[in-house]
Amino acid sequence: MTAKQPHRFRLDRLETPIGTALLVTDDRDFLRALDWSDYETRLHRLLRRHYGDYVLEKAAAPKDIVAALTGYFAGDLGQLKNIKWRTNGTDFQRKVWSELHKIRAGKTSSYGAFASRLSVPNAARAVGLANGANPVSVVVPCHRLIGADGSLTGYGGGLARKEWLLAHEGAAFKRPEQ
């Protein structure tokens, strides 16, 4: 019996207005993960959870991914739609992430309303858990889910990043009290 080979991914770093983004891509130029350098431990935890054994090799991310992210952070919000991404996860997680990708820049949804949109109106917490396990932040815009009262709720990259992303996109939300 042959031992299963670990998944091989590439790791690159991209400077953005809100910190250094970690870009994990595969050999077919799909984005597999996007996280932040100050949350690198979480990145590794999510990769292990979704792929089991893996190897990260330092290598440049595909130019089209870098160009799209650079464009997004420069204000061309539609650039995120140009990024090819692929994830592993449960069927429910992938359903949540696929629907999240459909929320347009500048728009938000509450967890409850989003659960209803998925035809599981009593699953707001499950939506929140799937949202928190999203390995492709920003591109799969988990930051666009907010509290029912418009307040910012948890965000894996920190609430300051969530606030910046929503403000950058022109979304309406309740700013946290300072």
| DSSP notation for the chain | -PPPPPEEEEEEEEEETTEEEEEEE-TTS-EEEEEEGGGHHHHHHHHHHHHSSEEEEE-PPPHHHHHHHHHHHTT-GGGGGG--B-----HHHHHHHHHHTTSPTT--EEHHHHHHHTT-TT-HHHHHHHHHT-SBTTTS-GGGEE-TTSB----TT-HHHHHHHHHHHT---BPPP-
Q: What is the mean pLDDT of residues 152-173?
A: 90
pLDDT at 178 over 60: no
> Cβ of 105: how many Cβ atoms within 10 Å?
19
Q: Rounded to 5 degrees, what are φ and ψ at 157? A: -90, 5
Cβ distance 75 to 68 under 8 Å? Answer: no
**pLDDT digits 0-9 by tens, 50-100:** 899 999 999 999 999 999 999 999 999 999 999 999 999 999 999 999 999
How many angstroms separate the most distant Cα atoms in the chain?
59
Task: List beta partners, residue 56.
Answer: 9
Q: What is the pLDDT of residue 130?
A: 93
Per-chain mean pLDDT for the chain: 92
pLDDT at 177 over 70: no
When mean pLDDT is compared across 42-51, 71-80, 104-113, 154-163, the lowest value belongs to 154-163
Q: What is the pLDDT of residue 151?
A: 87
Q: What is the mean pLDDT of residues 45-52?
A: 91
Q: What is the mean pLDDT of residues 19-24?
A: 98
When mean pLDDT is compared across 2-11, 14-23, 38-47, 165-174, the lowest value belongs to 2-11
Q: Rounded to 5 degrees, what are φ and ψ at 160? A: -60, -40
This prediction has a pTM of 0.92
Cβ distance 156 to 42 under 8 Å? Answer: yes
pLDDT confidence of 145, banded at 50, 70, 90? very high
Residues serving a catalytic function are 142
pLDDT at 22 over 90: yes
